């Protein structure tokens, strides 16, 4: 059983420990905590979610603030994770709790801690310097399945689902790997069979991470009207490879070419022959205005320009390369500022929307349409 803990508290620390204790009476538990690295590409996403939630000085004897207050402030989540991790690693707790089954805690440090029959073991074989809990969950889930242990991942996250299907297909297929399912913390929701899903979609599983990234993720902007179902259908049709996206050895021209061809095809027959996103944008505009007779369309409904799309494709390449390294100890050494990100004056990584020298409009437009007052 895997539990992903991202800061949402079931109550005080002792209530959470009781929750884990109860689970350990029937099954092994691997608990994965989110990590928060400074100067991370995840910082921008967290800033967008944060809003104006208040920073609290959390202590064990205080009433835990509302779930949303914790979830929308990174510093609050860091404090709560530290308190919970300390509680689980308390000697009295794990000696008593792990007499029947094994408790593993990952994400507190690079090296996970395994506790069994009251003995604490550092699992250096599962050491990881990755930041994302999604990746840590995948690493532990695949390792457990390959060791013959049936796995149930309790988590509500599309990234985790995609990672599990991809790696179950590439690492567990054809082996004696144990079954794996994924369920939501919300009991009424469907339980997904990862093994069955990987078998049913083995034809697209190799490109699944790239497809998922190009259609939108935490660090990659989504495209209007191009969702997960759309890209899955395009991939199922065949004829489009995304093997270079996320390949650390690939040249960026190949990455851009594959991403462009794939996304142009996702916009339909009108655009599937396009060789650039700007060409795709123009064709889609013509198609929309011709069909409706409208003189203009909503800009958000059009494909991005080539300049904007290439920056997004670079961010996707970085994210997919990190996902592909999920079973490795460390993510690839790739400078985010070379893959669609830039550092602001506070040292925070922000997405670069277009290259720095890109004009907002063609140079001849201001002269042709100058205002006369």
Sheet containing strand 151-154, edge to edge, reads 119-122, 113-116, 103-106, 29-33, 2-5, 151-154, 180-183, 192-193
User: Cα separation of 305 and 307, whole Å?
Assistant: 5
Mean pLDDT of 110-128: 97
Q: What is the pLDDT of residues 197-239, one digit of tens each?
A: 999 999 999 999 999 999 999 999 999 999 999 999 999 998 8
pLDDT band at residue 365 under the 50/70/90 scheme = low
d(CA 102, CA 109): 18
Domain boundaries along the sequence of the chain? 2-198, 207-360
What's the longest Cα–Cα distance across the chain? 84
Residue 346: strand, helix, or coil: coil
In the prediction, which pLDDT does 328 show? 97
pLDDT band for 65, please (50, 70, 90 cuts): confident
Q: What is the mean pLDDT of residues 330-345?
A: 95
Provide the whole-model pTM: 0.90
pLDDT tens track for 139-172: 999 999 999 999 999 998 999 999 999 999 999 9
Spatial CB neighbours of 119, under 8 Å, sequence gap ≥ 6? none
**Contact predicate 295/289, CB 8 Å:** yes
Q: Are strands 29-33 and 103-106 parallel, antiparallel or unpaired?
A: parallel
């Amino acid at each position: 059983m895997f539990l992903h803990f991202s800061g949402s508290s079931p109550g005080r620390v002792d209530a959470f420990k009781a929750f884990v204790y109860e689970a350990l009476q029937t099954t092994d538990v691997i608990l994965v905590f989110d990590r928060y690295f400074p100067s991370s590409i995840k910082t921008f996403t967290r800033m967008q979610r944060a809003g104006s939630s208040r920073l609290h000085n959390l202590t064990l004897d205080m009433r835990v603030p509302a779930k949303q207050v914790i979830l929308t402030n990174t510093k609050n989540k860091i404090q709560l994770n530290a308190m919970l991790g300390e509680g689980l690693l308390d000697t009295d707790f794990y000696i008593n709790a792990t007499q029947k089954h094994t408790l593993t805690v990952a994400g507190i440090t690079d090296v996970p801690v395994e506790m069994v029959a009251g003995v604490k073991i550092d699992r250096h074989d599962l050491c990881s310097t990755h930041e994302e809990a999604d990746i840590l969950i995948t690493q532990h889930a695949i390792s457990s399945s390959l060791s013959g242990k049936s796995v149930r991942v309790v988590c509500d996250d599309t990234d985790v689902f995609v990672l599990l299907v991809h790696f179950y297909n590439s690492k567990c297929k054809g082996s004696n790997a144990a079954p794996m399912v994924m369920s939501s913390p919300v009991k009424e929701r469907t339980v997904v069979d990862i093994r069955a899903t990987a078998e049913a979609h083995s034809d697209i599983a190799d490109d699944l991470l790239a497809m998922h990234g190009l259609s939108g993720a935490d660090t990659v902007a989504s495209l209007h009207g191009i969702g997960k179902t759309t890209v899955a259908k395009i991939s199922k049709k065949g004829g489009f490879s995304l093997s270079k996206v996320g390949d650390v050895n690939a040249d960026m021209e190949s990455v851009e070419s594959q991403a462009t061809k794939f996304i142009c095809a996702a916009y339909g027959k009108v655009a599937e022959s396009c060789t650039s996103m700007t060409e795709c944008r123009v064709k889609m505009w013509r198609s929309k205005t011709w069909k409706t007779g409208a003189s203009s369309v909503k800009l958000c409904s059009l494909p991005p320009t080539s300049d904007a799309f290439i920056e997004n494709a670079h961010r996707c390449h970085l994210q997919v390369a990190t996902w592909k390294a999920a079973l490795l100890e460390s993510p690839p050494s790739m400078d985010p500022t070379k893959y669609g990100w830039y550092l602001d004056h506070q040292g925070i990584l922000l997405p670069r929307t277009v290259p720095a020298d890109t004009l907002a409009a063609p140079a001849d437009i201001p002269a042709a349409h100058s205002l006369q007052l």
